[in-house]
A and B are shown apart, each in its own frame.
Chain A
């Protein structure tokens, strides 16, 4: 490619078209909004990580020596709330999705660019409320806000935290709405549904959850707020109110939200696996259907969080059955990724290492999910570290891996620079090792009966807890590294080609970084997705 020889600053792109703080804060360009989101969620990732660090340090010893019970309650609550609502849920959709969806479908922008900017400002408003909560002494409801604990007994900033999450929910509703309309109405000529990249399908499925689930979370948190402020007794047992109703409403959103925290990751991994196997993705149609199936089935399983909370046994049977059903589309995905690898020409680049990590860890997270979907086993492991390990394998082992993989994969497109490959591989390896060392011992701890959410524990659990804390420190180094070399590469990194990986997809057919309108001319698509059999050139970066 000849373009690579031209210094970046001479080519016009979305980064250098305008300068100054105003050109960023008032932008309606989806790519710039994606970067605004990137900055915001990275900030929250490190705040949430800081809480996690304090939790792991406290659990280094069986005694409560670093913090006391009340502080510990606040730490795990705010770790959960920050990580779930301010990092994981917006991570892939609001950053990578915002940046890539219009380009992948051959559009100039999302359908409602101003709504997109508005969603970021709403996110910032929610962030401000969350920061106020944190700085004002925190909140200790657990990330789930269970009543009547949250409505009756706590004196911490419950209302502020609930408002923060209420507000930030509207930011994801608007993002989801924007994605749905964009994917329906703004596809380039020839870009049929069966030619959409799976990343787009994944974000479409995610948007369905945003749009249909988030409002229910909003109303349940609003009712908690009203109960605290005005003593409306919607969930108050003294009036005959049912605290389980809150759990029903809360999990109606929050279980599908778990799929918000994995579906976009599946989209990312599909792109990476196809690219670095240099093969058309195996079973494209089933992959797309499986994404939608997971999103829909995800709405039928919520009460499996409540098996021991006193729900009816017969209802529990139904929810357990549907929970097992989710395994089918999930397994389809894992098998098809594996089948794509088979006889592919695989290159072990950094994004691919993350994708491998994702597939393995997601499989473990998913399989242990089947343990806890079983009514009998669930009784044994509910509220133990088994649950903690299970959902961290999905959320961290799955989603964070996919997010980082995606950031590396598309970094040349986003920044116009290559990240240092050697450091990238090192970080990926550190994260994989650190993650397993942190969370695998927790499976065993949970199975042995160590309960979650306590600041002290019996001395016999200490060895495994020390291992876990050691893993967490490796993990921390692994997370700091990309942060450092991404920043470094923005100035010193090698200038990226338009298509450094030899990947298929419209985003690789525009310049790196793209111009503000994405394409000089709206492309007409005449090929299927992942047409790697028609792409012969494998560039040098792939090695």
Chain B
């Protein structure tokens, strides 16, 4: 079997970046950005989640294309659930 084994250094660098991003998101919550607070927080969270998925979970090294399809399908269906529910809540007051 030929599977990719990432180096120890890679993992530690990723871990360090995750810690920095955590500090960044905690710090950013002290800023007063109005609606952009949540945008920034979710942006940082998504960066962190992507790092964990790509390196720790090894998505970057996986040879199967199918894994990508599975992940994208999951996220797309979550998007369906959120967006179509929100159409109702956002437009309820339009009359």
Contact = CB atoms under 8 A, between A and B. Distances in A.
Asked whether any CB of A lies within 8 Å of a CB of B in the complex, the reply is yes
Interface of A: 184, 208, 212, 216, 244-245, 248, 252, 299-300, 302-303, 311-315, 318-319
B84 A303 contact: yes
Given A184-B66, A303-B88, A312 B94 contact: yes
13 contacts: A184-B66, A245-B85, A252-B85, A299-B77, A299-B80, A303-B84, A311-B88, A312-B91, A313-B95, A314-B87, A315-B91, A318-B84, A318-B87
Interface SS majority for chain B = helix
B88 to A, nearest CB: 4
Contacts of A300: 80, 84
A302 B80 CA distance: 11
A248 B85 contact: yes
B73 interface: yes
A296 to B, nearest CB: 9
A248 B89 CA distance: 11
A16 B74 CA distance: 42
B26 to A, nearest CB: 27
A172 B67 CA distance: 21
Contacts of A315: 84, 87-88, 91-92
Nearest to B87: A315
A216 B92 CA distance: 23
Interface in B56-94: 66, 73-74, 77, 80-81, 84-85, 87-92, 94
**Considering the complex of A and B, which 10 residue pairs feature the smallest CB-CB distances, nearest first?**
A315-B88, A314-B91, A312-B91, A312-B92, A315-B87, A212-B77, A311-B88, A248-B85, A312-B88, A299-B80
Contacts of B94: 312, 314
Nearest to B73: A212
A187 to B, nearest CB: 13
A299 B73 CA distance: 13
Nearest to B84: A300
A252 B81 contact: yes
Contacts of B77: 212, 299
Nearest to B85: A248
Nearest to A316: B88
Nearest to B81: A252
A312 B91 CA distance: 6
Contacts of B90: 312
A466 to B, nearest CB: 42
A395 B26 CA distance: 52
Nearest to B69: A184
A212 B74 contact: yes
Contacts of A314: 87, 91, 94
Contact of A312 (B74, B80, B87): B87
Contacts of B89: 312
Most-contacted residue by chain B among A216, A313, A315 (CB, 10 A): A315
A311 B74 contact: no
A248 B66 contact: no
A212 B89 CA distance: 23
Most-contacted residue by chain A among B74, B89, B90 (CB, 10 A): B89
A216 B73 CA distance: 15
A246 to B, nearest CB: 12
Contacts of A319: 84
Given A314-B91, A318-B84, 13 more contacts: A212-B77, A245-B85, A248-B88, A299-B77, A299-B80, A300-B80, A303-B84, A312-B94, A313-B91, A313-B95, A314-B87, A315-B84, A315-B87
Interface in B3-48: none
Contacts of A299: 77, 80
A216 B74 CA distance: 12
A248 B88 CA distance: 10
A274 B51 CA distance: 50
A244 B89 CA distance: 10
A311 B91 CA distance: 9
A185 to B, nearest CB: 9
A265 to B, nearest CB: 24
B10 to A, nearest CB: 29
A244 B95 CA distance: 19
A299 B82 CA distance: 12
Contacts of A313: 91, 95
A311 B88 CA distance: 6
Contacts of B66: 184
A319 B83 CA distance: 12
Contacts of A252: 81, 85
A315 B83 CA distance: 11
A244 B92 CA distance: 12
